[in-house]
Structure 1
């Protein structure tokens, strides 16, 4: 491959805006801080009030200055995402709530920033709260050898209220002052290169990749390679969704045109033509296949050495998510739950809808499908229901962790035997909602355990509280008969739901 070498001279370098990563513990106010800065309510679109992805925004101020912000999730499950954030940032702002403590995730964020060797500014948030105690936070930081400037140290800090906007202008001034000291520059007159922040599959538009330009200028029609994927850029969108023609260094954008979803943290680069881009992507793809083949053969030899009892306690999972970063974080979190005797084995992971092929793989391998912010195709639901396969859908990551922690703790329980299922054809609201059902298969037994299935997905697990035929209590109802069912502590029925009875 003949490549034109670009020699970077001092005269080619132009000033660029700083890239600032917002870090800290969950619910300490990172996204609320960005909300105020951007004058938009990002947090309203986040499930459970926590950020599930890395967001990238470029904010312009009245004085003509601009800052690119990376908003990293604060939940411990996103350790790898936070680590990735520090690799592409110039300055880190660590948000700490002054009505709380310096939490483990905050300490972890500080460690990532220190390892990356970037300046840290502490935003002491929630000073509007009655029980706010900024000096307690300063003391806890000093115990970690992090002495703030107002206490004679080297670390900048600012007391703020992200809710009221108090102190935020001063915080921004400190960020811009730090950027001025760093003298940040890049060469815009060369082919673009940078880092993939996030990637996902948009059903209507194809693969959508969020990237941060770190050098050069990205233009519409450029040929790009990111990881093992390549493509010609068809669309460039800025952080508020406007179509643009080119992007300068330090700016985040979404691009359409790649033939797949690269892993978050991958480097991307612009090539002269499609042939060069395809050639490099093909080489990388072949290398990855070779590495995967080697790792699979190693894992097979390891699994053969395990005892039979250990293999019986293996929980196999298929993970599908809306974005690559989410899938990576979920994988990281669930694998951490494994012990020597109780193992979580993630046999497949990818982004996009839960499809027929995912369900067939789950059937063949006896696996549970985990979906994060994704839906099932109709055919996938039908196959899953027919084969009694379990699909669990989630919108908040710690719900997944809690769920599978319980599943792993109860892994030694005897296997479930389905004895019958009933379809809800009507329901009646009394003190507790009664589901009018038709027994489709087997039989339903009073006081048995049940699972409520909606669109092929288990949405509730509990106990059958009451079973009636007309006005009479009965012990069981067989296939083909109608009955009334009350589920203990549950009322949210929909016509078409399936009540599955098991032992």
Structure 2
């Protein structure tokens, strides 16, 4: 008996996959996991008959309703004409009431002179005095009025009065939030289908760029003369009348950077895996980043044109990470493709549209625009330029917007084809000009009523960031873990594990996850081999995780970013020390007695072997300072080779107490002669600290 997939039947019946799955389960009692499930042809024929009957019934009902509506319209047409003027007037007043938002915020003291208030309002004094008389207040030009009187007067002119000590930025934000609430309530019923936003990830050299280029050439260049003329970090393609927006980002680093700022831009991730290479370290990173973000994945098994291609091997390796292909009984869609021959591209795009349909992505094109910055730069001729993605509403040329701590009025918009456009709807990427500064990737933008409001809100946000910098962060750390558990802030402790060898990484990962209790679940969201990198810190920041390093150290960039973002990195040489610390932190018994302080780092530039002395390393101090009494560890490619103390520290032929950043020095390490050029020598001291009060 022949079979048919649900999504194929849904396409034939011109209904959504979700609707068809619901009918199968409720009407026919057929279990259907998802749109890739198959049903017998007999069942399919019965469903077709059911839909044909429903269509006939719907057509008959439509005729009856149309006839009834026609009669009703005839009866009330006269009354409508009589009341049309009144209704228009009433609607106009209601619209004015909804749109009535203050044009300007007027700051003042408890009292203000009438003339000064007129100047602030930019109105003639006579007009202000007349308005006061209407309020029942008789006041001369130089007379003072109190704040309550002034507030009513200012309100009548369409502005708002605030005391000087009040935060103008907060008031402006409150007003914008009120308008947003009104628009949210009004837009729920008006939301319509929007295109999905897709990000492509995967290991380097697995064909991400080639796959994107193949899609561009087959779906964009065919319809646009000259193809893509300007790179704006995203582009849109048409697939059988359905639009798909692709984010052309540098990879999972940008994906996580956006998520860390609260910008969940991506709807679907295409994970590219080479059929001849299989799962690689960056593939694992991408899988973990997607899982942490809870974004659905479609696996594109690329390079199927190669003789060594083995898609079954890829599917087998995916099962190790909890991803089971749908043709193996799982729910992960795997599509064999070739960027070179364009094999499977249409099938991949079709799977994207089907997944988007299941997600029921919607937006209201008639409201004020909101969205996210994809990337931004400072252009020599055009000033700050930002590539943005509209996620809701319609952005228009001339709109005033606030973007993070930046603001501006849109002078021009360029679409993904390099053409100037006047408007951009939901899921549409555009490049905008007119901002005051360059925003950060992942910053959210919102259209506000005017440029002045945007400036006030931007300045208020900057001030809050400055204040927050001096306040204690709520990020999880070993020291505050117990307190956060008690306060109910932490239900799950996320950990990132990096180790020197794969065996250690797996052992540490399994041991840490066994520490879960009834109160807190310990979850390792990423485990890998190698030094702790900036990517690891970005993932930890986005997921509020701590980083555990076993026989590895963070690189310079990772240390800088971790300090800036307040991400905790703990390094160990013995696995049981790591487990004991986490266990102690969870029960509130962690009492650290010493704290490691990095004093400086230097790089071995030249190595000399001297008889009766040992190995001397000629070094350049990269940062901080190397002191004679400090302990040192030798790092090679981020892996700890040894830990010891300095045997000697010299500048030229003289013994010195320290060598500062930017200077050269010679040093030797006790009981260690295997220093090589390029090794990093990290100096540190152990500082005694008082236990924190719990």
TM over 0.5: same fold?
yes
CA distance in 2 between counterparts of 1:34 and 1:164 reads 13
CA distance in 2 between counterparts of 1:82 and 1:276 reads 26
* Equivalent residue in structure 2 for 1:171, among 348, 351, 354: 348
1:99 Cα shift? Answer: 0.9
* Equivalent residue in structure 2 for 1:13, among 191, 203, 218: 191
CA distance in 1 between counterparts of 2:353 and 2:420 reads 28
1:22 counterpart = 2:200: yes
From the superposition, tell whether residues 258 and 151 of structure 1 become closer, same or farther in structure 2 (CA, over 3 Å): same
- Residue by residue, what CA displacement relative to the aligned partner does 1:417-437 show, whole Å, maximum 9, x if unpaired? 99xxxxxxxxxxxxxxxxxxx
Gap runs ≥5 in structure 2: 1-171, 221-230, 474-533, 542-546, 565-599, 603-620, 623-634, 653-676, 679-694
Across the aligned residues of Structure 1 and Structure 2, the Cα RMSD in angstroms comes to 4.4
From the superposition, tell whether residues 282 and 192 of structure 1 become closer, same or farther in structure 2 (CA, over 3 Å): same
From the superposition, tell whether residues 41 and 58 of structure 1 become closer, same or farther in structure 2 (CA, over 3 Å): closer
* Equivalent residue in structure 1 for 2:459, among 272, 276, 282: 282
State the structure with bigger RCO (CA 8 A, min sep 6), 1 or 2: 1
SS of corresponding position for 2:308:
coil
Gap runs ≥5 in structure 1: 43-52, 297-327, 350-365, 369-388, 391-401, 419-460, 463-503
1:108 counterpart = 2:285: yes
Number of the residue aligned with 1:35? 213
CA distance in 2 between counterparts of 1:337 and 1:266 reads 29
CA distance in 1 between counterparts of 2:395 and 2:357 reads 25
* Equivalent residue in structure 1 for 2:443, among 260, 266, 274: 266
1:210 counterpart = 2:387: yes
Q: Judge conservation of contact 1:24–1:105 (CA < 8 Å) in 2.
A: yes
SS of corresponding position for 2:456:
helix
From the superposition, tell whether residues 294 and 116 of structure 1 become closer, same or farther in structure 2 (CA, over 3 Å): closer
Structure 1, 131-140 or 95-104: larger mean CA deviation: 95-104
Note the 1:385-396 alignment, pairs <5 A: none
| Higher share in strand | 1
1:127 Cα shift? Answer: 0.9
From the superposition, tell whether residues 404 and 232 of structure 1 become closer, same or farther in structure 2 (CA, over 3 Å): farther
| Higher share in helix | 2
- Residue by residue, what CA displacement relative to the aligned partner does 1:224-278 show, whole Å, maximum 9, x if unpaired? 1111110011111112321111100011111111111222212110001112111
CA distance in 2 between counterparts of 1:131 and 1:404 reads 32
1:117 Cα shift? Answer: 3.0
Work out which of the two has the higher radius of gyration on C-alpha atoms and give 1 or 2.
Answer: 2
**How does the TM-score come out when normalised to structure 2?**
0.42
Q: Judge conservation of contact 2:554–2:638 (CA < 8 Å) in 1.
A: no
SS of corresponding position for 1:39:
helix
1:289 Cα shift? Answer: 1.6
CA distance in 1 between counterparts of 2:376 and 2:548 reads 26
Q: Judge conservation of contact 2:385–2:438 (CA < 8 Å) in 1.
A: yes
Q: Judge conservation of contact 2:311–2:336 (CA < 8 Å) in 1.
A: yes
From the superposition, tell whether residues 250 and 276 of structure 1 become closer, same or farther in structure 2 (CA, over 3 Å): same
SS of corresponding position for 2:342:
coil
